[in-house]
Structure 1
């Protein structure tokens, strides 16, 4: 666990303030479908990349239109604020997609469940989580 000032919880600010490289830092982002029955997923990508929401994320979720979940949706579904979302306390029915590049790292820094904490983990932990699917090309 890495404690941090909530003012520096956003990944770029956290990395600059605490000296962690963005290439070893990830963001857990909630994605929501736009049409029909609402579907959600959590996607984890490295801080220096962008989720491929228009292709890869859409395909793995099996929806045509999607967007980033709002701050309110994120808080309602996860109980966490943007900037502190961790993949380790999510609802059991929420799929988690991890960009394949993360699995190549010796560690990754992720949200710790609040804006005042981050966790430093070995990506191998994702292989032990039943809701996680590693997806090559999830982010560019």
Structure 2
């Protein structure tokens, strides 16, 4: 069997992610090195000023529904902080106040503050990805995101994007597929 070809999208043509660790945050490299599906994950360099979903989609001729955003949500129960990374299609929003709050079993769930998200994930804001997050965090993947042919997700840094089959989002280490996570 020959090497797998990585799917491109729009004007983006990825290379195997592990061939360009300079385009990935350190915890993302570590996660990919330990993941059997890493050979199906590509990375592509982008202009960091275009890292936000809408700007990236427009600049690189990407369908908006190809993006999968990762947002970090937290809440407290007793003295414990509970954090989840929520992966949803870019044309939807995570249902933080209902679905995520119930899954975390907290009274109130909210997005992590930028400084906490960056410090605790060891990733750049706007590039946070479900790959390589702290192991105690839950990774909740909206079922709809797993149906994306070629998903564009963060790489841990703003100057690149990861491309992978949406079905792989369900296979991320520790991921939980949640129907109706987004609305």
TM-score (norm 2): 0.72
Compute the displacement of 1:61 (Å): 1.1
On the 8 A contact 1:34/1:65 being kept in 2, the answer is yes
Q: What secondary structure does 2:163 align onto?
A: strand
For the residues of structure 2 that align with 1:138 and 1:30, how far apart are their CA atoms? 13
Report the Cα distance in structure 2 between the residues aligned to 1:87 and 1:63, rounded to whole angstroms: 21
**1:21 aligned residue:** 63
Aligned to 1:91: 134
Deviation at 1:35, TM superposition (A): 5.8
Cα distance in 2 between the residues matched to 1:28 and 1:113 = 11
- Give ranges in structure 2 of 5+ residues lacking alignment: 1-42
Deviation at 1:34, TM superposition (A): 4.9
Cα deviation, 1:38-84, whole Å, max 9, x if unaligned, reads 11110011111111111111111111101100111111111112210
Computing the radius of gyration from Cα coordinates, the structure with the larger value is 2
How many residues get paired? 140
Structure 1: runs of 5+ lacking an equivalent? none
How far does residue 123 in structure 1 lie from its aligned partner after superposition? 2.2
Q: Separation in 2 of the partners of 1:119 and 1:75?
A: 18
Matched, 1:42 2:73: no
Separation (CA, whole Å) in 2 of partners of 1:111 and 1:66: 23
Any conservation in 2 of the 1:99–1:134 contact (CA below 8 Å)? yes
Checking the alignment, whether the CA contact within 8 Å between 1:40 and 1:94 is kept in structure 2 is: yes
* 22 and 127 in structure 1: CA distance in 2 versus 1, 3 angstrom threshold: same
